[in-house]
Amino acid sequence: MTKSQIIRYFMLRSIGNFLLLFSIFGVIATFGPSLWYEAQYRLAQARGIRFTIAEEKDNKVKTGFGQILEQQRIAQNGGFRTILTGPKEQILAPIDTQFSILIPKVGANQKVFANVDSTNEKEFLPILYQGVAHAKGTVFPGMRGNIYLFAHSSDNFWDVGRYNAIFYLIKDLSVNDDIVLFFENRRHNYKVSETKVLDASEVSYLVNSQEGKEETLILQTCWPPGTTWKRLVVLAKPK
């Protein structure tokens, strides 16, 4: 091989290696958070771990309730170490009793941010870094109509994994699974009634949120995982 051929060979090889590494990084960045939660969930299932929600009297959270259970909450958020070596009975304490969601089946425990404009990406994308968003214009726990909570959304395909991916696990929820909301220091209990996959353009649950005759909790995430093509929604009714 001539000197110019050798240089060309190494240039092409370097470009090929760069593109390969860039592709691997893109896959990890997009699907990494979802796969992380999936792995934890499957490991918890294999160990037979059962998550329960801390009880409080009269369905009302007393002052200092969150502080009393801080140790349990920290332990639950210990990730793989807690899943591998922690107790098989683990307690979930609400992150914020003003507004938070807990899903025992998948070990989800997230703060909810109220009145977020679901049509304004500049408003809802920063929120989804921190927790779950409550869609502006929809009702609150204890009211008739639709309570609409969403997470794991993005403006770009390659950006999906950067946002709160815990709602990715709602795909594993089944009819009669428990969901608990804490709102203004009160606990509200729900059971899953139905799951659906909808087009991204479907907004009837949002537009008609205050017209319902009964209370319905709706959880929404992107579907399939790592894309923004469709929406997976979970519907739940008060217990």
- Domain assignment present for residue 19? The answer is yes
Judged on CB neighbours under 10 Å (0-12, 13-18, 19+), 189 is middle
- Domain assignment present for residue 11? The answer is yes
CATH of the domain at 144: 2.40.260.10
Rounded distance between C-alpha atoms, residue 170 and residue 156, angstroms: 22
- Domain assignment present for residue 73? The answer is no
Among the listed residues 238, 204, 197, 201, the one whose alpha carbon sits nearest the alpha carbon of residue 221: 197
- Domain assignment present for residue 89? The answer is no
Q: Three-class SS of residue 108? A: strand
What's the average pLDDT block by block, 10 residues per block, for the chain (239 residues)?
A: 69 69 54 65 76 64 41 47 69 89 91 92 84 93 95 53 67 95 96 93 84 90 76 94
Cα separations (Å) of 208 from 36, 89, 117, 146?
A: 35, 40, 15, 8
- Domain assignment present for residue 82? The answer is no
- Domain assignment present for residue 175? The answer is yes
How wide is the angle at C-alpha 150 spanned by C-alphas 124 and 172, nearest 5°? 145
Q: Three-class SS of residue 73? A: helix
The total domain count for the chain is 1
pLDDT of residue 70: 42
pLDDT of residue 102: 94
Q: Note down the domain range covering 43.
A: 3-48+96-238
pLDDT of residue 119: 85
- Domain assignment present for residue 71? The answer is no
pTM of the model: 0.74
